[in-house]
Amino acid sequence: MSDIYIGIDLGGTFIKVGCFDSQLKLIYKTSVPVEADIKPEAMVELIGRTIEKILADNNLGKKNLRSIGIGSTGQFNLADGFMISNPNLTSFKNVPLRKMLVERLGKPVVIDNDGNAACWGEYTLGTGKGVKDMVFFTLGTGIGGGIITNGNLMHGFADNAAELGHIIIYPNGRKCGCGQNGCAEAYASAKSTAKRAKEAIDAGAKSSLKNIIEKKGEITAKDVYEQLKAGDALAKEIADGTAEALAILCINMLHTTDPQRIIFSGGMIAAGDILLDRIKYYFNKHIWSIKPETVEICFATLGEDVGIIGAAALAQQIQKQK
Amino acid sequence: MSDIYIGIDLGGTFIKVGCFDSQLKLIYKTSVPVEADIKPEAMVELIGRTIEKILADNNLGKKNLRSIGIGSTGQFNLADGFMISNPNLTSFKNVPLRKMLVERLGKPVVIDNDGNAACWGEYTLGTGKGVKDMVFFTLGTGIGGGIITNGNLMHGFADNAAELGHIIIYPNGRKCGCGQNGCAEAYASAKSTAKRAKEAIDAGAKSSLKNIIEKKGEITAKDVYEQLKAGDALAKEIADGTAEALAILCINMLHTTDPQRIIFSGGMIAAGDILLDRIKYYFNKHIWSIKPETVEICFATLGEDVGIIGAAALAQQIQKQK
């Protein structure tokens, strides 16, 4: 067995760990629960033991392990490898995470935020393959993302580039969790899509979604797209609002970084063409007329493993740069 | 005399040509009128003769001339040095401008769009000095700009990055010349600022600006800021609208490329602090509350020569890259 790379997706409730070969083919993956108040030292030890167990279980030696990549929620100082804060990991305040992991593992470690790691995964092995300029969106509870420009991940001055869900598209519009009004995330994340439907029903709108709320106590974006397919008028209105917000985001990214491809990922893309075609429809409705645009708007292909794949791809990249 | 660089600002009615020393200090500049229907061959010859005259008039030899940089309006294929089209130069359609100039001048030539050239000038010698991540806006008839990320000018897939005036901030808002609705340019360029004031007066608003229209037949953004200083209520409302639009643009750029500094340039910044303080006020009003932001919003310092300075700085950069 030759070179091995580890990719880790550090979430709020689970650590996903993947073991990859030199072609970034997944050899083995596992998922370990974590408590939100886990201490940094305990987290580092947990990661260390998980990697050692994976290697042992797969008859791999530590000498084959080249490097480890981590994608995580939170704020970072990437140059120094610090996790400054993390809403999901309450004990992480200015933690020298990379240094701690390098000391525990004895291997190179690269850390990036989860949106960037997933973006790099999709760029390296997914829909972004062969493209040097791309924009990547994740549509989940919130809207995150990453930007590749001229083949490089954009990080920005404070490692805070590509906070794409917080681009304001409707100033003085809906309140976002971040404190701003009118963020794209307040309209078009999976959570906001469901929330807007729920609010409309609470305000008296007639909809087949009402029965689902009465049965389940809540609705999800999945319900909205299912009822849209079944012909529900409110579901259509809500889905149109989501698509229009995402289309405005696409136009604003086109005029900013001029990507060849804009890629949507995350749970909500399971809706399929009924979502993608709508985004394209509103893109064409709002885009300028002074020249034709050829940007490709499409869905990601790597699925739920994109986080560990991207982290492993980052791990491989730092080895190549040496 | 050692190395010399030529910087050219190719506008719709004038070609500005500057001659710079190796410290990018301006030695001499001139301005030559051009007709909108000038043929590419005639333009190349005009540029060639202008440069030769500058060198002769300043007792400089062609052997001292290292390279030529050009910033221009229009659409480009920068890798191949083609000007694809130019609204100001009607005979320019898919013109291999760089090749033609290299053949005429016998020196390396670099071409970029005017917003990028000015951005690179401000980055190299102006307010952007020492900063690796910045966003640059020009506030003139339209709103243009440039983006520096990790020390590099962003060009994008189709050399069309940083069309910042066409970021949509009010979907379904004011019609923009580009065909979109709600572009920042439709609110906050110098021209749109004056136009919004004129429209309000035409619709019956009381304002000291009305006297100016009656006297001059028109108003400019300069009039709006002067009447604001004199206490006119409509001028305040219009200036607030301009500043709020620019503040939303700043927030959206912060969440996209995460610059250390956002720099405004162009004729309208002559308004001074009454404009800058307003942009900062609305930035603070609309920005998220989840973490403090330290991005510096400021004005450019290179003034009207920024185009030729930036073009010369690009010329020097291609020499350094060799």
3-state secondary structure chain B: CCCEEEEEEECCCEEEEEEEECCCCEEEEEEEECCCCCCHHHHHHHHHHHHHHHHHHCCCCHHHEEEEEEEECCEEECCCCEEEECCCCCCCCCECHHHHHHHHHCCCEEEEEHHHHHHHHHHHHCCCCCCCCEEEEEECCCEEEEEEECCEECCCCCCCCCCHHHCECCCCCCECCCCCECECHHHHCHHHHHHHHHHHHHCCCCCCHHHHHHHHCCCCHHHHHHHHHCCCHHHHHHHHHHHHHHHHHHHHHHHHHCCCEEEEECHHHHHCHHHHHHHHHHHHHHCCCCCCCCCEEEECCCHHHHHHHHHHHHHHHHHHHC
* pLDDT for position A319: 85
Mean pLDDT of chain A: 96
* pLDDT for position A54: 96
Q: What is the pLDDT of residues A131-190, one digit of tens each?
A: 999 999 999 999 999 999 999 999 999 999 999 999 999 999 999 999 999 999 999 999
Contact A157 B75 (CB under 8 A): no
Residue percentage of chain A with pLDDT more than 90: 96
Q: What is the pLDDT of residues B122-179, one digit of tens each?
A: 999 999 999 999 999 999 999 999 999 999 999 999 999 999 999 999 999 999 999 9
What does residue A220 show for φ and ψ, rounded to 5 degrees?
-120, 170
Q: Select from B133, B156, B251 the Cβ nearest to the Cβ of A258.
A: B156
Contacts of A297 in chain B (CB under 8 A): none
The alpha carbon of residue A119 is apart from the nearest alpha carbon of chain B, in Å, by: 14
| B285 near A CB under 8 A | no
Contacts of A150 in chain B (CB under 8 A): 152, 154-155
| B79 near A CB under 8 A | no
Average pLDDT for residues A59-67, to the nearest whole number? 94
Contact B248 A161 (CB under 8 A): no
Name which of A148, A151, A129, A125 is nearest A137 in CA terms. Answer: A148
Average pLDDT for residues A306-319, to the nearest whole number? 96
* pLDDT for position B12: 78
ipTM: 0.96
| A158 near B CB under 8 A | yes
Quick one: pLDDT band at residue B1, thresholds 50, 70, 90? low
Provide the β-strand partners of residue B57: none
| A258 near B CB under 8 A | yes
Average pLDDT for residues A57-61, to the nearest whole number? 92
The alpha carbon of residue B22 is apart from the nearest alpha carbon of chain A, in Å, by: 29
Residue percentage of chain B with pLDDT more than 70: 99
Quick one: pLDDT band at residue B320, thresholds 50, 70, 90? confident
Distance CA A204, CA A202 (A): 5
Contacts of A294 in chain B (CB under 8 A): 158
| A149 near B CB under 8 A | yes
Distance CA B36, CA B48 (A): 18
Determine which of A76, A85, A148, A149 to mutate to test the interface with B (most B C-beta atoms within 10 Å): A149
Name which of A141, A2, A156 is nearest A73 in CA terms. Answer: A141
Contacts of A186 in chain B (CB under 8 A): none
Q: What is the pLDDT of residues B169-183, one digit of tens each?
A: 999 999 999 999 999
What angle separates helix B233-257 from helix A233-257, to the nearest 10 degrees? Answer: 80
Contact A248 B152 (CB under 8 A): no
Distance CA B312, CA B310 (A): 5
* pLDDT for position A1: 58
Q: Select from B157, B257, B286 the Cβ nearest to the Cβ of A168.
A: B286
Contact A157 B252 (CB under 8 A): no
Q: What is the pLDDT of residues A102-118, one digit of tens each?
A: 999 999 999 999 999 99
Distance CA B212, CA A301 (A): 60
The alpha carbon of residue A181 is apart from the nearest alpha carbon of chain B, in Å, by: 7
| A284 near B CB under 8 A | no
Provide the β-strand partners of residue B181: B175
* pLDDT for position A248: 98
Q: What is the pLDDT of residues B222-246, one digit of tens each?
A: 999 999 999 999 999 999 999 999 9
* pLDDT for position B228: 98
For residue A165, the SS3 value is helix
Q: Select from A159, A168, A255 the Cβ nearest to the Cβ of B251.
A: A168
For residue A177, the SS3 value is coil
**Residue B12, exposed/middle/buried by CB under 10 A (0-12, 13-18, 19+)?**
middle
**pLDDT at residue A67 greater than cutoff 90:** yes
Amino acid at B198: K
Quick one: pLDDT band at residue A126, thresholds 50, 70, 90? very high
Amino acid at B61: G
| A251 near B CB under 8 A | yes
Quote the pTM value: 0.97
DSSP A212-224: HHHHHS---HHHH
Distance CA B5, CA A312 (A): 46
Q: What is the pLDDT of residues A32-43, one digit of tens each?
A: 999 999 999 999
**pLDDT at residue B322 greater than cutoff 80:** no
The edge-to-edge listing of strands for the beta sheet with B26-33 is: B26-33, B14-21, B4-10, B65-72, B109-113
* pLDDT for position A289: 96
B64 Cβ neighbours under 8 A, 6+ residues apart = B1, B2, B3, B4, B55
What does residue B280 show for φ and ψ, rounded to 5 degrees?
-65, -40
Q: Select from A131, A158, A255 the Cβ nearest to the Cβ of B167.
A: A255
- Give the residue on B whose Cα is nearest the Cα of A160: B258
Distance CA A300, CA A136 (A): 9
Contact B157 A287 (CB under 8 A): no
Residue-wise over A86-111: b if at least 16 C-beta within 10 A, else e?
beebeebeebebbebbeebbebbbbb
Contacts of A161 in chain B (CB under 8 A): 149, 256-258
**pLDDT at residue B94 greater than cutoff 80:** yes
Mean pLDDT of chain B: 96
